[in-house]
Amino acid sequence: MAKRLASDDKANTPQPPEDYATGSGAPSNDPRALEKALGLRVRQLRRQQDLSVADLAAAAGLSTGMLSKIENGQISPSLTSLQSLAQALQTPISSLFAMAEERQDCSYVAAGQGVKIERRGTKAGHVYQLLGHLLSGDYAVEPYLITLSEDAIAYTGFSHGGTELLYMLEGEVSYRHGDRRYDLKPGDTLLFDSQAQHGPEAMSKGVIRYLSIITYARGGASGG
């Protein structure tokens, strides 16, 4: 009887559609991401060894057309082909998947373990804790837990490339961005172009904490 009830409960539980997705406008995963990463790695190793497509194809016992398709991520090579390429390149087969593994970047920071960062404003009572970082990708993401001590000094001269998001956690602050001021309290969010000068202009009594997430293209400069 218990099994029957469990089965009925499962049958009545709404199931998400197979194509369930978030509301994000981010592009969906490339169905050939693995093949493209593998192809880029093969091309990289081939060029490092100063081999032409014809040279590597001959050494691996593949046609030049087949190798070209592999390097361009157009096909899924067989295990035999991968072994032949690894032997011809004198590298472990696992190294062919290096770029695919690099794309699966992840960072975990336990509660209270964020690395304290010395930045502009630190000496003015602004404490930055870096909550994680990613090593790869076209864009850098810097998430900080920012704490303003009771004796923190207001500073509105921060300016750097990229985009910044603030999410208030504790206390209240009047935050300046360009020629406008925003009164923020717990639960409020502010998203802005961080090239304009910005920073806390006035603060309530007690400790203030907010989450700051800065994103910018790699090679660009981050700031405060």
Backbone angles phi, psi at 42, to 5 degrees: -60, -45
Domain count, the chain: 2
Separation CA 22–CA 167 (nearest Å) = 21
If asked whether residues 156 and 89 sit together in one domain, one would say no
Say whether both 42 and 133 belong to one domain: no
Here the CATH number for the domain that contains residue 43 is 1.10.260.40
- Closest by CA position to 104, among listed 137, 140, 138, 76: 137
Q: Is residue 26 part of a domain?
A: no
User: Residue 3: which pLDDT band, with cuts at 50, 70 and 90?
Assistant: very low
Residue 206's CATH number: 2.60.120.10
Q: Give a yes or no: residue 28 inside a domain.
A: no
> Which residues share a beta bridge with 144?
130, 212
Residue 108 lies in a domain: no
| In a shared domain, residues 119 and 98 | no
Residue linked to tokens 């700031």: 223
pLDDT of residue 151: 86
Query: Quick one: which of 219, 181, 217, 216 has its CA closest to 201?
Result: 181
pLDDT for residue 201 is more than 90: yes
- 25 found inside a domain: no
> 134 and 93, same structural domain?
no
Domain extent at residue 96:
33-102
Q: Indicate if 200 and 121 belong to the same structural domain.
A: yes
Q: What percent of the chain has pLDDT over 70?
A: 75
Global confidence as pTM: 0.58
Task: Tell me, yes or no, whether 9 lies in a domain.
Answer: no
* Tokens encoding 33: 């991401």
> pLDDT tens digits for 136-177?
667 888 999 999 988 888 989 899 989 999 999 999 999 999
pLDDT, tens digit (0-9, with 9 covering 90-100), for 50-86: 999 999 999 999 999 999 999 998 988 888 999 999 9
